[in-house]
């Protein structure tokens, strides 16, 4: 079994990373292998399952051609700057090209201590590893850019957390890249402009070739990253996703969702919803995510200042202008996303207000986010019952429904076209917290069936499928998950 590695990051200067092999584990056991992803990457699932493949996925054997390293990065965590974070429990094995020539990082997470581990053990435990596996694959199925999960391996080693000894695990993460906003901040903090330029050139060549061709490539890079993040956060809002730890070290330069810690998909709609146990101030609440994305991008802009213009006043003005472009870019992406959810296929003045009206009605009754939007599909086709059940039969909800129906009637769109578009805009199933927790609890106890079922259902989120009603049901009051944990 071989990965055909071609490791561009490892060819960057030594101060970009620390060379570090994964630390072997006593008893690797394959828990999950993502066969569909393996095929997509041109890897042979059978070879990955073999003892040799398993040894690689566990970090016990460094595959030929790999150049294992821990990436250096800094980051603003909850607003405070930490000049040195880096991969403290992850190893970039290397990069591979899929059959279409697309480049992907292969990273082991939970693979042991590195020079960036600080006080940590460099390990992960099975619960959060499977959580990332499940949620990242669900995100992918929803069509939202994300890192992916190729495999989860139990290590046979115990890791010690507040809750006591827990089974250790390693996740194989696949991403278009692992450069973060915090990677730029790392070199900014060291006033290492040469490294900043090399990093920016690397990112331009690998991820933003269009921007590289511009006459102001670094400015174009910032514009492009801002655009991708605006789009990404709009898409998160469209499925009720709350990242939970939008620190700058958890914002990928590629525009992929990365670092599934205490993230959650919300059940009852509330713009202030927070699940993360460490987000005391609600900094990363559902409705704050656009602003936080912009704040993080301003940190990127700041790091790029030395590259934007030799005259720093000019550079600041340029950076400010690009960052100011986030809000309109986000607004456009958000409107496109929510127009589709409401079945509005022709943009009109006043759409933002119509969308707002629905969200206000939902917040007033604590309506289920996913099911309310899904109920719009039926309502657009004439069956208003499920929608009224979500929004209540009171005045504001009824008034909103009439206004929306009138707006739909004013379009030339055919009902078939609208129905097909709405089906793809409003998933039937999302990873509901109580179901995620139950599946993970069973998996950790040795029963993988609930996790497999959930993975299967979430792989086709646009249809609940036979027996799927169970996965559309919001939690009963006693099932509501109030808090999610980083669980590192």
Residue range at the interface with ligand AMP (CB under 6 A); choices 118-126, 142-150, 281-289, 396-404: 118-126
Name every residue whose Cβ is closer than 8 Å to that of residue 206 and which is 6 or more positions away in sequence. Answer: 8, 103, 177
User: Taking CB under 6 A as the rule, does residue 76 contact ligand AMP?
Assistant: no
- Within positions 243 to 282, which residues make up the interface with Mg ion, using CB under 5 A? 250, 259
In the set 67, 87, 249, 279, the catalytic residue is 249
Known active-site residue 194: no
User: Taking CB under 6 A as the rule, does residue 89 contact ligand AMP?
Assistant: yes
User: Taking CB under 6 A as the rule, does residue 291 contact ligand AMP?
Assistant: no
Q: Round to whole Å and give the CA distance between 174 and 147.
A: 6
Q: Round to whole Å and give the CA distance between 224 and 238.
A: 21
Beta bridge partners of 161: 164
- Within positions 225 to 254, which residues make up the interface with ligand AMP, using CB under 6 A? 245, 249-250
Nearest to 426 by CA among 354, 353, 348, 337: 337
> In angstroms, what is the minimal distance from the CB of 324 to Mg ion?
28
Residue range at the interface with ligand AMP (CB under 6 A); choices 84-92, 131-139, 279-287, 386-394: 84-92
- Binding residue (CB under 6 A) for ligand AMP from 60, 67, 87, 455: 87
Q: What H or E segment, with its residue span, contains residue 228?
A: helix 217-238
User: Taking CB under 6 A as the rule, does residue 117 contact ligand AMP?
Assistant: yes
Q: What H or E segment, with its residue span, contains residue 117?
A: none
User: Taking CB under 6 A as the rule, does residue 363 contact ligand AMP?
Assistant: no
Closer to ligand AMP by Cβ: residue 164 or 467: 164
Closer to ligand AMP by Cβ: residue 336 or 486: 486
278-283's contacts with Cβ under 8 Å and 24+ in sequence apart are: 278/245, 278/486, 279/78, 279/244, 279/245, 281/78, 283/78, 283/79
Q: What H or E segment, with its residue span, contains residue 86?
A: none
- Both tokens of 224, joined, read 């492009």
- Partner whose footprint covers residue 231, from ligand AMP, Mg ion, none (CB < 5 to 8 Å by kind): none
Number of residues that bind Mg ion (CB under 5 A): 2
User: Taking CB under 5 A as the rule, does residue 288 contact Mg ion?
Assistant: no
> In angstroms, what is the minimal distance from the CB of 110 to ligand AMP?
8
Strands (E) in 12-140, as ranges, are 17-19, 29-33, 69-71, 75-77, 80-82, 90-97, 103-109, 124-125
> In angstroms, what is the minimal distance from the CB of 40 to Mg ion?
25
Nearest to 155 by CA among 165, 164, 166, 168: 168
- Within positions 309 to 368, which residues make up the interface with Mg ion, using CB under 5 A? none
> Which residues are annotated as catalytic?
249
Site residues (CB under 6 A) for ligand AMP? Answer: 85-89, 116-117, 120-123, 245, 249-250, 259, 261, 486, 488
Site residues (CB under 5 A) for Mg ion? Answer: 250, 259
């Amino acid at each position: 079994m071989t990965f055909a590695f071609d490791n561009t990051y490892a060819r960057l200067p030594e101060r970009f990373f620390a060379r570090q092999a994964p630390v072997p584990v006593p008893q690797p056991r394959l828990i999950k292998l993502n066969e569909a992803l393996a095929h997509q990457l041109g890897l042979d699932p059978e070879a990955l399952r073999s003892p040799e493949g398993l040894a690689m996925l566990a970090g016990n054997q460094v595959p030929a051609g790999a150049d294992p390293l821990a990436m250096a990065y800094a980051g603003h965590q909850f607003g405070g700057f930490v000049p040195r974070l880096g991969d403290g429990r992850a190893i970039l094995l290397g990069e591979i090209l899929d059959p279409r020539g697309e480049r992907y990082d292969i990273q082991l997470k939970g693979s042991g201590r590195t020079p960036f581990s600080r006080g940590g053990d460099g390990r992960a435990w099975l619960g959060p590893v499977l959580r990332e596996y499940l949620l990242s694959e669900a995100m992918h199925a929803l069509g939202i850019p994300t890192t992916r999960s190729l495999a989860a391996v139990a290590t046979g080693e115990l890791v010690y957390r507040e809750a006591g000894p827990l089974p250790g695990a390693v996740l194989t993460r696949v991403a278009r890249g692992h450069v973060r906003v915090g990677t730029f901040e790392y070199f900014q903090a060291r006033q290492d402009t040469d490294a900043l330029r090399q990093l920016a050139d690397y990112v331009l060549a690998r991820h933003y070739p269009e921007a590289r061709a511009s006459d102001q490539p670094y400015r174009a890079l910032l514009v492009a990253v801002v655009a991708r993040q605006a789009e990404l956060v709009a898409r998160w809002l469209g499925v009720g996703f709350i990242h939970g730890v939008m620190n700058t070290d958890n914002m990928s330069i590629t525009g992929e969702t990365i670092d599934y810690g205490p993230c959650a998909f919300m059940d009852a709609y509330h713009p202030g919803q927070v699940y993360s146990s460490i987000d005391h101030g609600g900094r990363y609440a559902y409705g704050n995510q656009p602003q936080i994305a912009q704040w993080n991008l301003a940190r990127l802009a700041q790091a790029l200042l030395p590259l934007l213009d030799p005259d720093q006043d000019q550079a600041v003005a340029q950076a400010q202008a690009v960052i100011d472009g986030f809000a309109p870019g986000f607004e456009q992406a958000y409107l496109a996303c929510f127009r589709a959810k409401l079945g509005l296929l022709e943009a009109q003045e006043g759409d933002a207000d119509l969308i707002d009206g629905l969200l206000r009605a939902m917040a007033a009754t604590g309506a289920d986010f996913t099911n309310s939007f899904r109920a719009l599909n039926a309502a657009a086709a004439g069956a208003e019952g499920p929608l009224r059940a979500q929004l209540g039969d009171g005045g504001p909800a009824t008034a909103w429904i009439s206004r929306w129906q009138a707006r739909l009637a004013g379009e030339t769109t055919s009902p078939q076209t609208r129905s097909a578009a709405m089906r793809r805009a409003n998933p039937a199933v999302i990873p509901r917290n109580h179901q995620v927790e139950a599946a993970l609890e069973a998996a950790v106890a040795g029963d993988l069936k609930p996790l497999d079922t959930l993975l299967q259902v979430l792989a086709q989120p646009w249809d609940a499928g036979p027996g799927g009603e169970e996965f559309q049901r919001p939690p009963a009051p006693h099932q509501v998950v109030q808090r999610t944990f980083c669980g590192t």
